[in-house]
Amino acid sequence: MTTYRKNFNDCYAYGRIGEGSIAKWARKVKKEILLPAYEIEIPSGKGPRLLLDGYELIAPDFYAIRIDGTTVLCKWIEAKHKTRFTWHFMSGNWQTGIDRRHYEDYLQVQEVTQTIVYIMFLHRSNIPSEKDLAKGSPCTCPTGLYCRSIDYLKMHEHHKDSYEKDGREYPMVYWNERPLGPPIATFDEVNAISSSPNVIAETLKTKLAATLQQLENTYFIPDDDNDPYAWERGMQEADRTSIIMANDDEEQLL
């Protein structure tokens, strides 16, 4: 049987709903500055890509930056929007999963960029599917926003498998819900924030102003087209030890 990965264009519109909600939550609650990796890739039919020497990797959705005093915290975030958990009747666990090829590339992205990758799962419905109910699942399933580092997820994989749909086979990797938990936010909390555009806009405006002021007060790296060495000199003057590309505690929640 031929193996396929999910078509990006088929899943893009649905996925963006979740990515938008997760992104708004991260900006509002965690005070993250987010650089979406996918915007320029939409016309090509591909997801975000990290371009390297002779090859490319599928990149997570966002590069997140948080200013903490004179420290810059950087991380990758992959945002997965799910309708509900799936009941794994053989083990008696609620499970979630992602595309195996994407997952394997995210592991490589973390290695080559030396920046921790976090995967966030937003599950919205507490009503199991009819298929899961028929297999003996509980009457309700967990919901909320879950977040773990990819290193943690690698240590807690439950199994790798494939599912078939319309004659195609989709390779996946799965995790039980319990090791993912507890959720870092309820679905209602995430949804409430994503439904308040005025609050988000004001928060971003304040955060951006504070960030710009912080940068001016700490390290000034000139941007002078007439001086090709301005950036190099500025970086040499900056204290690079205050730029953290990966957290020391890999299990620390986002």
Percent of the chain with pLDDT over 90: 42
Give the domain CATH number at 78. Answer: 3.40.1350.10
Q: Is residue 184 part of a domain?
A: yes
How many domains are there within the chain? 1
149-161 residue pLDDT tens: 999 999 999 999 9
pLDDT tens digit sequence for 124-145: 999 999 999 999 999 999 999 9
**CB under 8 Å to 166, separation ≥6 — which residues?**
none
Predicted confidence at residue 85, as pLDDT, reads: 97
13-22: per-residue pLDDT in tens? Answer: 444 544 577 7
Of 6 and 49, more confident? 49
Residues 6 or more apart from 229 whose CB is under 8 A from it?
A: none
The Cα 117–Cα 108 span in angstroms is 10
Q: How confident is the model at residue 48 (pLDDT cuts 50, 70, 90)?
A: confident
Cβ neighbours of residue 217 under 8 Å, at least 6 residues apart?
Answer: none
In angstroms, the CA 220 to CA 169 distance is 52
Q: Judge whether 178 lies within some domain.
A: yes
Whether residue 222 lies inside any domain: the answer is no
Residue 251 belongs to some domain of the structure: no
Determine, yes or no, domain membership for 138: yes
Is the model's pLDDT at 185 over the cut of 50? yes
Domain hosting 98: range is 8-196
- pLDDT at residue 219 above 60? no
| The pLDDT of residue 240 is above 60 | no
| pLDDT higher than 60, residue 178 | yes
Q: What is the mean pLDDT of residues 30-41?
A: 60
Q: Note whether residue 156 is domain-resident.
A: yes
- Residue 234 falls within a domain, yes or no? no
Residue 153 to residues 59, 148, 159, 181, 251: CA-CA distances in angstroms? 17, 7, 11, 12, 10
Q: Each residue of 76-130: pLDDT tens digit?
A: 999 999 999 999 999 999 999 999 999 999 999 999 999 999 999 999 999 999 9
Mean pLDDT of the chain: 77
pTM of the model: 0.67
Residue 57 lies in a domain: yes
Q: Is the pLDDT of residue 246 over 70?
A: no
